Structure 1
């Protein structure tokens, strides 16, 4: 039986095709036990703030994949809000930006943020995704 590498992962993205592809890869390769999905940054920030209020540490993801371009609250806004609260959790949470943007301004901005582990360009490569889960 394959050991699950990560207990809980999170995808914050409004692209259903991307979500379904990554979800299928994660399930097929057994990269994590559970997966939570949000369609925008606001939904996910609401979720994390609720966890803080109720101290539900077991519902905190080990790794988060965030898109930059989404409705309601984009990835940059999410990162700004999340950075303010993430240290209140007693858990290391790794953030990756996954975007279709190849704009050097976005990539440089992401590299300048200590809270971002990496910047991945869509479409994500399966081996790249596996390596991220293995190193987390």
Structure 2
């Protein structure tokens, strides 16, 4: 199996540390990059496009973040996605129990799933199963 790159976009430092440990333990991913908000991640995507460096295969996206939340990130990625050479699989990773968030995620064709925190090793195995 080809190891994939995963980005975790979340403002919770403790959660990012835990996720990095779970991701490392999974031995599925070649690298993990974390961002504290959607704006940082969008800037990194723009830079990767500009420099023609690899994009992440998977993004775990929180909804509630400062500067740019998950929904703002999704608006920006819609504009950028025509420049992607490969598909990015985006999953919401949230502690939100709001039904509106789940419905909004489900209605967005660029979001492949909505997972409640904390993400488990089994969740990572499932979302990394594509080729």
Q: Which band: TM-score by shorter chain?
A: over 0.9
Unaligned runs of 5+ in 2: none
RMSD: 1.4
Measured at CA, do residues 12 and 52 of structure 1 come closer, stay the same or move farther in structure 2, by a change above 3 Å? Answer: same
Match of 1:7 among 1, 4, 20: 4
Shift of 1:39: 0.6
What SS is found at the alignment partner of 2:80?
helix
Cα distance in 1 for residues equivalent to 2:20 and 2:82:
27
Kept after mapping to 2: 8 A contact 1:6/1:62? no
Task: Tell me which moved more, 124-133 or 105-114.
Answer: 124-133
Match of 1:55 among 30, 52, 69: 52
TM-score (norm 2): 0.93
What SS is found at the alignment partner of 1:10?
strand
Q: Which runs of 4+ in 1 moved over 3 A?
A: none
Unaligned runs of 5+ in 1: none
Shift of 1:23: 0.8
The yes-or-no answer on 1:124 pairing with 2:119 is: yes
Deviation per CA, 1:56-80, whole angstroms, max 9, x where unpaired?
2x2x100101100011100000011
